[in-house]
Chains A and B, each alone.
Chain A
């Protein structure tokens, strides 16, 4: 009864003695809604299917209408994108930047959240607010001073510069997200452990970390999507093609070769998309939850 479709209850009141008519009316009302949903779902997944499909087509097949199915699997599109298009190098570059960034960010962020929420000190509120400001800052305003700093420190075109930037930008969200979890963390457990003689480090590693495991996985996942999909930071701090990540590499590749070579272009787009699609399909609930939580807080 509670939480029902408002349309349904309308019908019940209008036609209480004629269930058949009510059903008919409900179906008629339901058709546009169902159609709308089907249309939106198709519009969301068809373009993705279309790129994967097109990535297997041979050059001559692109003369045919774009929605036709591939006639045979031209897997060489992928090998060409991987080697000539340098996608292989870009994927490795991305991995070498994204995973260390997430590891460092989680380690530092969880530690900070623990220090801010569980430990007792005067300035913890202030520091928390300081981190909060970071969630709201657009990256554009920081990128020029950072470029200047990295230039002076000879860090441009290094993976280190990207990792530093990603970690610093991810920290506010990680701290905020985990602070929330530590807030609702039962104090008695910490206190009991301390009374039993545990050091604060033992409390952190043996009690706190295992208890916020789920939160860590969620926030790491969300950060993976942010970092894997980043263009601005990698485009700004790397000019050397050897250092390009998947996104800036894809931009360069499709810009140069995309005019003529549709097959390899679609293959390279597929390669940039595949990791996120796969991870999402397996862990969609966690991704959705994490992104929504991050957005409401940010």
Chain B
């Protein structure tokens, strides 16, 4: 029995191919990107070791700070929106719609599976001003609110909010399902006990239901933050980082630095910064939550 179950030949046949592929394509590059961040050049021109020059440049790069700030602000708003709306929807599914919520759940989840590029194109058509008015400007025109007609995606501040709205719209159904799964998992006795103790409506939600949901909300928050900090497709397709560099997050700055300006070394440093940002945020949320839990 043990002989069959610990036959090393079979083990290497089962695990080997996956492990090798994973190590070569994913794990080795993670390590080598550290090395790449200390070099200058591109695959075509060859690389040269420059020590910490890229990191020095990073600190003095105003565009980087702008992108970092844009990404952080964006992630804050979008994550807040996704989690708050997701929780609200989950509560509605569970306590208000109850068993009849299947259809509603299915429809609200629909945007999650749509390709981001297609969604972004759709939004850019909705908010278009030329050659013809898009859905929104057309509506404003017909309602006699001509003064509100504007190039929504051509202005830094309105573009920011449209990107936020699109990201929230696209993923809220997903977080609703995630949190709904957590809600369904709460033992019914707990809620009943809360009711007997006199908790009702909002109080029941606030003091009995939400604390029970904390683990899944923390997981959702980490997931949402990581997703939004790495945002790429949405913005590339919607504004391509513009107007100017107003909607450029680190991911796009890194992409342009590497593949438009062929500065692979510095691109790697930017990618590393982004990874670090994701890691720090995840650890912060996790750590704060742990501390509050104790």
Contacts and interface: CB of A to CB of B under 8 A. Distances in A.
Interface of A: 1-7, 9-10, 13, 30, 33, 36-37, 40-41, 43-45, 47-48, 50-51, 54, 62-63, 65-67, 108-109, 111-112, 114-116, 118-121, 127, 130-131, 133-134, 137-149, 151-152, 164-165, 167-169, 171-172, 175, 190-191, 194-195, 199-201, 204, 225, 228-229, 231-232, 235-236, 246-248, 250-251, 254, 258-260, 262, 265-266, 269, 272-273, 276-277, 279-280, 284, 287-288, 291-292, 295-296, 298
B157 interface: no
B84 interface: no
Contacts of B2: 120
Contacts of A228: 115
Given A66-B132, A67-B135, A119-B14, 18 more contacts: A6-B200, A6-B201, A7-B95, A7-B96, A41-B108, A45-B110, A50-B126, A65-B142, A66-B126, A127-B19, A138-B226, A139-B230, A140-B230, A140-B271, A144-B267, A175-B18, A190-B5, A200-B5
B117 A44 contact: no
A202 B157 CA distance: 62
A66 B138 contact: yes
A134 B135 contact: no
B10 A137 contact: no
B59 interface: no
A119 B112 contact: no
Q: Which 7 pairs of residues, A with B, have the shortest CB-CB distance?
A: A115-B14, A168-B25, A145-B29, A112-B18, A115-B15, A108-B18, A151-B43
Interface of B: 1-2, 4-8, 10-11, 13-15, 17-19, 21-30, 32-33, 36, 43-44, 89, 92, 95-98, 104-118, 121-126, 131-135, 138-139, 141-142, 169, 173-174, 177-178, 181, 188-189, 191-192, 195, 200-201, 204-205, 216, 219-220, 223, 226, 230, 232-233, 236-237, 251, 254-255, 258-259, 264, 267-268, 271-272, 274-275, 278
Main secondary structure of the interface of B (DSSP, over half): helix
7 contacts: A6-B95, A66-B135, A66-B138, A130-B23, A140-B251, A251-B237, A295-B219
Given A44-B173, A127-B19, A130-B27, A272 B118 contact: yes
B84 to A, nearest CB: 13
B73 to A, nearest CB: 19
Interface centre among B113, B142, B220, B271 (most CB of A within 10 A): B113
A144 B169 contact: no
A277 B230 contact: no
Contact of B178 (A30, A54, A151, A296): A296
A265 B120 CA distance: 13
Contact of B117 (A272, A288, A291): A272
Contact of B6 (A121, A131, A250): A121
Contacts of A48: 110-111, 114, 122
Contacts of B141: 65
A221 B29 CA distance: 27
B43 to A, nearest CB: 4
B264 A144 contact: yes
B14 to A, nearest CB: 3
B256 to A, nearest CB: 12
B138 A288 contact: no
Contacts of B7: 119, 200
A116 B219 CA distance: 26
B231 to A, nearest CB: 11
Contacts of A152: 43
B115 A119 contact: no
Contact of B116 (A50, A137, A167, A229): A229
